Homo-oligomer: A and B are copies of this chain.
């Protein structure tokens, strides 16, 4: 089981299960489309089948992955991201953009029209415009309540 950090911060709450080894790489591979278990053991070269199975179940529990049986005998399943799972794309891309820029990767993320590297930005759907990084702030969500969490002292988000 993943270990909760006992913090109210949404970064900590996300990382409690997304931060486990292999999980975000699994999401990365499913962002390309549905995959069978054996496709995933191939693309995630080195993952133990029991670990992969555990990660998939956990993502299913969190509504990030859905499972569809494509064979009854023997039971064989295909996995796909749900809508909330697909919304993890910016997380995966932000990691990829940073890695491509700073770890000397031979892969990069580009604008398909001009071929230049893209950056992560912020957008306000209400104002319909891009928002500079220093005009984003964290705020307590009015009327929004956290889902139940362990009782360890929570600390606020700081990013």
Q: Which of B10, B127, B156 contacts A100 (CB 8 A)?
A: B10
Interface residues of A in 94-121 (CB under 8 A from B): 94-121
A32 & B116 in contact (Cβ 8 Å cutoff)? no
Smallest CB separation, A156 vs chain B (Å): 7
Complex formed: what's the CA distance from A39 to B9 in Å? 17
**Contact with A8, one of B89, B105, B127, B138 (Cβ below 8 angstroms):** B105
- Residue among B93, B112, B133, B158 making CB contact with A29, cutoff 8 Å: B158
Taken together as a complex, chains A and B put the C-alpha atoms of A109 and B122 apart, in Å, by: 10
Give the interface size bracket for A toward B. 35 or more
Contact assessment for A140 and B107 in the assembled complex, using a CB-CB cutoff below 8 Å: yes
The one of B7, B84, B113, B121 in contact with A130, judged by C-beta atoms closer than 8 angstroms, is B121
Residues of B within 8 A of A114 (CB): 124, 126-127
Q: What residues of B have a CB within 8 angstroms of the CB of A89 in the complex?
A: 133, 159
Beta-carbon contact of B15 and A3 below 8 Å: no
A152 to B45, Cβ gap below 8 A? yes
What are 29 inter-chain pairs, A to B, with CB distance below 8 A? A6-B46, A7-B25, A10-B103, A11-B95, A11-B99, A12-B99, A13-B99, A14-B96, A28-B157, A28-B158, A43-B155, A46-B152, A88-B98, A90-B97, A91-B95, A96-B138, A107-B140, A107-B156, A108-B144, A109-B139, A110-B137, A111-B124, A116-B125, A118-B124, A119-B122, A120-B120, A121-B121, A121-B123, A130-B130
